[in-house]
A and B are shown apart, each in its own frame.
Chain A
Amino acid sequence: MRPINLLPTVATTRGRGGLFATLLIVLLAVAAMVYGVRWQEQRVTAASNDVRAQNKVNESLGAEVAALVPMEELRATYQDRVDKVHVALDRDVDWGLFLTELVRLVSSDIQIETISGTAGGGEGEGAFGRVAFSGLGPDFPSVAEWLRTLESEDFSGVTGPWVSNIMRQTLDDEASVNFTSTAILTPESGSGRIDRIIPEVP
């Protein structure tokens, strides 16, 4: 029996099989790459479409806003007028109410001769102005009582009352004291009419 050498045939077969496997792997890899690129291209296209659609929506909304600009100007004009009223009524004092409260609370033996007052700033933070009085009282304690009245909680419109001068005098054989006094107007003396003046827009 003659021996047959099969080795070259096996090597050839192995060689072909290896080449086929290699080509298959390369093809699969290339296919995967192409698929990956296509997939990303689709994502780019989809994202571009989304952006385009969104920009279209925004353009439409922008046109709506442009059509409504007169409304914005209307509101700005209203707000400007409201701000002006606020500025105009800064530290506005209700003098009618102030006098009413003063007359109601001050003791009947005090006779006020003059009252002068100014509204506005210049007296420090929280002050609405200053008021000055001159008056007559029966004696020195009545002036002390006057100060206590101005400082009482019942009369919240003023604070920091002060008497700068008390002088005894005799009128028609009757002794009395005249005095000059000052006080600082508080925010409670304010008119508070701003809400009434500014028409409310819901």
Chain B
Amino acid sequence: MARKPILVGLLLLLLGVVWWFFFFSPKVARVDELRADLQVAQDEELRLRARVADLQSVAELEPEYRGALDSLSVVIPDDPELDEIIDSLYDLALRSRVELLSLVPGYPSEPSDGEGLRSIVVTTRLTGEYFEVVNFLFGVNDLPRLARVDAIALSVGADGEGGLGVSLQIRFFTLSGLLPEPLEPVLPIDDTTTTTVVDVPPPTEDPGDTGDDGADTEG
């Protein structure tokens, strides 16, 4: 008679163990898993909301960005535009009252440092009085297109009248060279073509096999 409660207890214990491991615990694990997924998704929402807010702030400032880009494309134009360089230096020389003796523009350099920036160095010789030369140098800094004086050489009396003889290396910038950019391939590369090339057997084998393999690949 005293065995019955023990057997019932053991049975209940066994039932409890089975229930725990096969019914209850998997559900708890699933809930934990879903909560973890939810947390990840909520974090993603925060990230997306921040990104949307950030991009919306750009969208609100789109006219300003476009205006700034227009200005910057004047500062560093896409094309060399050497004619404008010559015009701007000539106009500046007139305004500064220096006498422009020579302009020797170099070809656009290859882009360096991965920036895609090309330099056009214009070696410029001019003469003028001290203040005229200084005005010219200030004027170079104020040109709408970005120009910098990399090297300067002044000598007194070079013009034979006590004025200054000046040689300058003025560097302008552009984003492209004289040649047009290489064209993008019009047709996309077909993956099967690549596979066919890989499947070509070594040349030592029978040429007849090559044709078969190619047919198999295409098939």
Contact = CB atoms under 8 A, between A and B. Distances in A.
Contacts of B72: 78, 81-82, 85, 198-199
Q: Range of interface residues on chain B? A: 35 or more
A166 interface: no
B10 interface: no
Contacts of A37: 19, 23-24, 27
A138 to B, nearest CB: 17
A116 B134 contact: no
Interface in A32-74: 33, 36-37, 40-41, 43-44, 47-48, 50-51, 54-55, 57-58, 61-62, 64-65, 68-69, 71-72, 74
B12 A26 contact: yes
Contacts of A83: 115
Interface in B52-72: 52, 55-56, 58-59, 61-62, 64-69, 71-72
A68 B56 contact: yes
A43 B38 contact: no
Contacts, number: 188
A202 to B, nearest CB: 7
Interface of A: 18, 22, 25-26, 29-30, 33, 36-37, 40-41, 43-44, 47-48, 50-51, 54-55, 57-58, 61-62, 64-65, 68-69, 71-72, 74-75, 77-78, 81-85, 87-89, 92-97, 99-100, 103, 111-120, 191, 193, 197-202
Contacts of B4: 18, 22
B139 to A, nearest CB: 8
B152 A116 contact: yes
B115 A87 contact: yes
Contacts of B115: 83-84, 87
A36 B174 CA distance: 73
A36 B48 contact: no
A50 B141 contact: no
Contacts of A44: 27, 30-31, 34
8 cross-chain pairs, A with B, having the tightest CB-CB distances, nearest first: A40-B27, A47-B34, A96-B137, A68-B55, A61-B48, A199-B68, A54-B41, A96-B138
Interface of B: 4-5, 8, 11-12, 15-16, 19, 23-24, 27-28, 30-31, 34-35, 37-38, 41-42, 44-45, 48-49, 51-52, 55-56, 58-59, 61-62, 64-69, 71-73, 75-76, 113, 115-117, 130, 133-135, 137-138, 141, 146, 148-157, 173, 175
A68 B52 CA distance: 8
20 contacts: A22-B8, A40-B27, A44-B27, A47-B34, A47-B38, A50-B34, A62-B48, A68-B58, A81-B76, A84-B173, A84-B175, A85-B146, A87-B117, A88-B117, A111-B156, A115-B154, A191-B148, A199-B67, A199-B68, A202-B61
A119 B28 contact: no
A25 B31 CA distance: 29
Nearest to A120: B150
A183 to B, nearest CB: 14
Contacts of B173: 84, 88
Contacts of B23: 33, 36-37
A40 B148 CA distance: 73
A197 B58 contact: no
Contacts of A97: 138
B73 A81 contact: yes
